Structures are given as C-alpha cells and as structure tokens.
Amino acid sequence: MSIVKRCLAEFIGTFWLVFGGCGSAVLAATFVADAAKISPDISFPLGIGLVGVSLAFGLTVLTMACAIILLVNIPC
C-alpha cells in the first residue's frame, strides 16, 4: 500500500473519530437556554451527558468498522 493511501486512510479515520466523538463532547456541556424554561424558576438542562458521549464514540467506531468491512468485502 502506498504512503498516499495510508495517509488518506489515516485522515479519514481521524476525521470521522473527531467529528463523531469529539463533536458529541461539545454537545455534552449542559447549558440552560431561555427556550427550555418550564417556569420562571425551573429550567430544563440541555445536553447529552457522559452516556451520550460514550454512545457517540462507540457508534463512531462501529460505523467506521462496518464501512471498512463493506469496502473490503469481508464476509460477516
């Protein structure tokens, strides 16, 4: 395999992990929006939390593994 193909594969894998995993960590920050106020003194916290980040990283790795299996034609 040439160095160009290896670098391209590394770039795509890193991009997908950062996009899916680290992008979800940005959403994990709990913040309070004005639109999420139930009443004047009760606010609904928004965000996906630690479980959401864990699921996002797991699904990111799973989707990349499935894509690679489909591209390489490995029988399941």
Cα distances (angstroms) measured from residue 34 to each of 6, 40, 57: 47, 10, 29
Coil, strand or helix at 55: helix
Q: Residue 29: its pLDDT value, please?
A: 66
Examine the pLDDT at 40 and tell me if it is beyond 80: no
Nearest to 17 by CA among 53, 71, 70, 69: 53
Q: Is the pTM of this model over 0.95?
A: no
pLDDT digits (tens, 9 = 90+) for 50-67: 788 888 889 888 888 888
Coil, strand or helix at 17: helix
Examine the pLDDT at 35 and tell me if it is beyond 70: no
Domain that holds residue 18: 3-72
Domains identified in the chain, total number: 1
Coil, strand or helix at 40: coil
Highest mean pLDDT among 1-10, 21-30, 36-45: 1-10
